[in-house]
Amino acid sequence: MKKLIAVIVFVVGFAFNTNAQDKMNKKEVVKTVSLEQTKGEFTQKQITLSEGSYIFEISNTNVGHNVGFVLAPKSDVNAHIKNAYVTAQVENNTKQTSKKVTLKKGEYVYFCPLNPTPQYTLIVE
C-alpha cells in the first residue's frame, strides 16, 4: 500500500511539474514596431501585423516640436488604446516607446494629433 501511495504521489508531482514548465516555456513574445514621424506625417503609411503583443517605438525626426502617438480601432477612432500612447511626449530628434499592447485581428488607425498627421491604417491579420 505504501508503494502504491508513493507511485501516485510521484506521478501527480511529475504532472504538476511538467505543466508548470510548459507554461514557463510559452513565454509571451513582445515585438517592437518602429515608426518615424517627420513634419506632418509618418513615413510608414500602412502597417500589417499578425495578432500578438507589441511595443510601439516612435521617432521624432526633425519635426521641430514634441510629437505623440495614438492607436485606435478603425470602427471608433475616439476609442484610443491608451497602452499604445508613448510613455512621454517624443521630443525633437529623440525616440519614445509605448507600453505593451495586445492586438487582435482587425483594422486600426494610427496618427499624431500633436504633429498633426493624417490617420494611417494598421491591419492585424
Asked if residue 101 belongs to a domain, the reply is: yes
H/E element holding 32? strand 30-38
Provide the 10 A C-beta neighbour count for residue 95: 15
Asked if residue 25 belongs to a domain, the reply is: no
Residue 107: all three cell numbers together: 483594422
Asked if residue 11 belongs to a domain, the reply is: no
Asked if residue 106 belongs to a domain, the reply is: yes
Residues forming a β-bridge with 67 = 90
Enclosing domain of residue 105:
31-124
Q: Look at strands 30-38 and 52-60 and give their pairing.
A: parallel
Residue 121: all three cell numbers together: 491604417
* Burial zone of 84 (CB within 10 Å; 0-12 exposed, 13-18 middle, 19+ buried): buried
Asked if residue 75 belongs to a domain, the reply is: yes
CATH number of the domain at 45, please: 2.60.40.420
Domain count, the chain: 1
pLDDT of res. 11 = 45
pLDDT of res. 77 = 97
pLDDT of res. 63 = 98
pLDDT (average), residues 42-59 = 98
Helices (H), the chain: 2-25
Report d(CA 97, CA 115) in Å as an integer: 17
Q: What is the pLDDT of residues 73-105, one digit of tens each?
A: 999 999 999 999 999 999 999 999 999 999 999
Q: What is the pLDDT of residues 5-37, one digit of tens each?
A: 544 544 445 455 545 555 555 788 999 999 999
User: Residue 57 carries which side chain, given as an amino acid letter?
Assistant: E
Asked if residue 3 belongs to a domain, the reply is: no
Q: What is the pLDDT of residues 39-50, one digit of tens each?
A: 999 999 999 999
pLDDT of res. 27 = 84
Asked if residue 2 belongs to a domain, the reply is: no
Contact 72, 108 (CB under 8 A): yes
Indicate the DSSP class of residue 93.
T
Q: Which pTM was predicted?
A: 0.79
Asked if residue 1 belongs to a domain, the reply is: no
